[in-house]
Amino acid sequence: MSIVIQGLSKTFGNFAALDNVSLEVPDGALLALLGPSGSGKTTLLRVIAGLEVADSGAVLHEGEDITDYSARDRKVGFVFQHYALFRHMTVAENIGYGLKVRRTPGAKIRERVDELLKLIRLEGLQTRYPGQLSGGQRQRVALARALAAQPKVLLLDEPFGALDAKVRQELRQWLRRLHEDIHVTSIFVTHDQEEAFEVADRVVVMNQGRIEQVGKPDEIYDHPATPFVYQFLGHVNHFHGRIQNGRLRLGDAEFPLSSREAAQDAPAIGYVRPHEIKVRAEANGAPSIVAIIKHMNTAGPLVHLELERADDGGRFAVELTREESRQIPLQTGARVFVELRNVRVFAEDNQALNPNLQAREETP
């Protein structure tokens, strides 16, 4: 294990940024810390880097306790969200800074800087100043600077946050390939689930200073451990009903559950993604609920529908492919029959279903 985190806690005033967080990062992993703002992901990254001191807990690096080490003794490369390049130094001086302060001979610094410039494909720009570079170029210089002293761990704080969409897309793929080449254990922070899934080989979902789930991107998407994870990764519909015989009962219809942990005969919330809903013009005997089309948006590769349940008036969203949408006559105000697939119920919701939770989940 490259990095082991044991029971880290950190509070700012009354706000718990980290609440007893434990995590293991394998050697050579590319790990994403994913979560909404205020979930503690950046704080965790800064504690690992030594830029922030945790109230309690420990950080181990290859078995060595580095909790009390200062940032400069940790052999960690840190890439700041806004790059924090030294604006009065050239690109080459920026990249060589970490070597210079460690008193590396000049010839070695130049050699390493040239090597890194080649790696980030900015040869010929070594005499430019950060102010003369584009956002994407600055980002790559910041990365090269962090890599110069051959850190054991690379930490990136929202590496693509300040870039526009197109550059971001390019840099994501580039970072992925770079990691395959140099294979240094890397942790990056993001609030964009798409980014986390595309770049990382392991994803850690965080919320309110706690880790909700750790796993491979597809594991997390297919088997979210908590309602929070389920909701954070894409759109979600809530269906309030009852659990009976291991099925979710909505009005007269009963839908099978994709998870089996559900309690018997209790109120429950079914979670269904918009693309996991089938819409039919006619009932065909399969369990279904009746709904009315309130709004439809046919632009783009998917058709987006907003439906209202005929029984309790609850609204939900549906995504159909163009092909599916052609098979049924769709128009605003039409009555349709809706079949739910992959209904998930979370155990904690069943026990609780408290007003607090419900209020939170009413927001689409």
Partner 1 sequence: MSADGPSVGHRATAPGSIRQAQQDPAWVRWGLISIAITVVVILVVIPVINIFVSALSEGFGVYCDNLFADSDTRDSIMLTLTVVPIALVANLIFGLAAAWAIARFEFPGRTLLTALIDLPFSVSPVVAGLMFVLIFGLQGYLGPFLRRDGYAVMPYLTSLPAVVVFIVTFFLLQPRREKERRGPWKHPKLALLAGSAFVFGLFCFGQQYFEVWPRNQSLKIIFATPGLVLATAFVTFPFVARELIPVMEAVGPDEELAAVSLGANGWQMFWTVTVPNIRWGLVYGIILCNARAVGEFGAVYVVSGHIAGQTDTMPLRIEKLFQEYNLPGSFAVASVLTLLAIFTLIAKIKLERKVPSADDHPAMRNAPEAGK
When the beta carbons of 51 and 225 are compared against partner 1, the nearer one is: 51
280 near 333, Cβ under 8 Å? no
Q: Check residue 50 for interaction with partner 1 (CB under 8 A).
A: yes
Reading the block at residue 35, the tokens are: 């979560």
Q: Check residue 62 for interaction with partner 1 (CB under 8 A).
A: no
Q: Check residue 236 for interaction with partner 1 (CB under 8 A).
A: no
Q: Check residue 51 for interaction with partner 1 (CB under 8 A).
A: yes
CB of 234 to partner 1, least distance (A): 24
Report in angstroms the alpha-carbon separations of 281 from 265, 276, 318. Answer: 31, 17, 14
Report in angstroms the alpha-carbon separations of 358 from 231, 234, 265, 344. Answer: 13, 19, 19, 16
Among 26, 56, 71, 360, binds partner 1 (CB under 8 A): 71
Among 105, 131, 285, 355, binds partner 1 (CB under 8 A): 131
User: Can you name the residues that pair with 336 across neighbouring β-strands?
Assistant: 291
When the beta carbons of 158 and 349 are compared against partner 1, the nearer one is: 158
Q: Check residue 49 for interaction with partner 1 (CB under 8 A).
A: yes
Q: Check residue 290 for interaction with partner 1 (CB under 8 A).
A: no
Measured CA to CA, the distance from residue 115 to residue 120 in angstroms comes to: 9
Q: How many residues in total does the chain contain? A: 364
What secondary structure does DSSP assign to 81-148, as a single string?
Answer: TTB---TTS-HHHHHHHHHHTTT--HHHHHHHHHHHHHHTT-TT-TT--GGGS-HHHHHHHHHHHHHT
Q: Check residue 58 for interaction with partner 1 (CB under 8 A).
A: no
Quick one: which segment of 69-77, 111-119, 205-213, 217-225 binds partner 1 (CB under 8 A)? 69-77
Q: Check residue 73 for interaction with partner 1 (CB under 8 A).
A: yes
Report in angstroms the alpha-carbon separations of 357 from 80, 89, 166, 319, 348. Answer: 35, 52, 38, 26, 10
Measured CA to CA, the distance from residue 210 to residue 206 in angstroms comes to: 6
CB of 112 to partner 1, least distance (A): 13
Measured CA to CA, the distance from residue 34 to residue 16 in angstroms comes to: 17
Q: Check residue 72 for interaction with partner 1 (CB under 8 A).
A: yes
When the beta carbons of 40 and 50 are compared against partner 1, the nearer one is: 50
Q: Provide the mask over 132-171, with x wherever binding to partner 1 is found by CB under 8 A and - wherever it is not.
A: ---x--x------xx-xx------------xxx-------
When the beta carbons of 53 and 71 are compared against partner 1, the nearer one is: 71
Number of residues that bind partner 1 (CB under 8 A): 36
Q: Which residues contact partner 1 by CB under 8 A?
A: 49-51, 68-74, 76-78, 80, 82-88, 97-98, 101-102, 130-131, 135, 138, 145-146, 148-149, 162-164
